[in-house]
């Protein structure tokens, strides 16, 4: 597991108040929304805000790619890396 993935897992736990979980409970390919972790639309907004604060990424909630980026921890890490490199 990459450091970035680990950081994102902890960010999800902290930002969304998932106090019963640890980073080890969230597999990199686990779906975050709906089936899987079971997060909802308010979580999506809250997570977008947390990513914005931590990594300085502006997230467009309307962009069609956003849904793909937010699929799981691996896709989020790839999204964050791409922005860091840019």
SS3 33: strand
- Is 52 near other proteins (CB under 8 A)? yes
Best CA proximity match to 2, nearest among 17, 23, 16, 21:
23
Site for other proteins in 56-85 (CB under 8 A): none
Tell the smallest beta-carbon distance from residue 17 to other proteins (Å). 4
CA–CA dist 55, 25 (Å, integer): 23
Q: What is the per-residue binding string for other proteins in 8-47, x denoting contact by CB under 8 A?
A: --------xxxxx-----------------x---x--xx-
Number of chain positions touching other proteins (CB under 8 A): 12
Are the CB atoms for 36 and 30 separated by under 8 Å? yes
């Amino acid at each position: 597991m990459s450091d970035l993935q680990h950081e994102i897992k902890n960010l999800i736990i902290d930002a969304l108040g998932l106090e019963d979980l640890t980073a080890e409970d969230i597999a990199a390919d686990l779906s975050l929304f709906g089936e899987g972790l079971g997060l909802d639309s308010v979580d999506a907004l809250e997570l977008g805000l947390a990513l914005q604060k931590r990594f300085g990424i502006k997230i467009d909630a309307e962009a069609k790619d956003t849904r793909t980026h937010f699929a799981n921890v691996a896709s989020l890490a790839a999204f964050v890396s791409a922005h860091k490199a840019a």
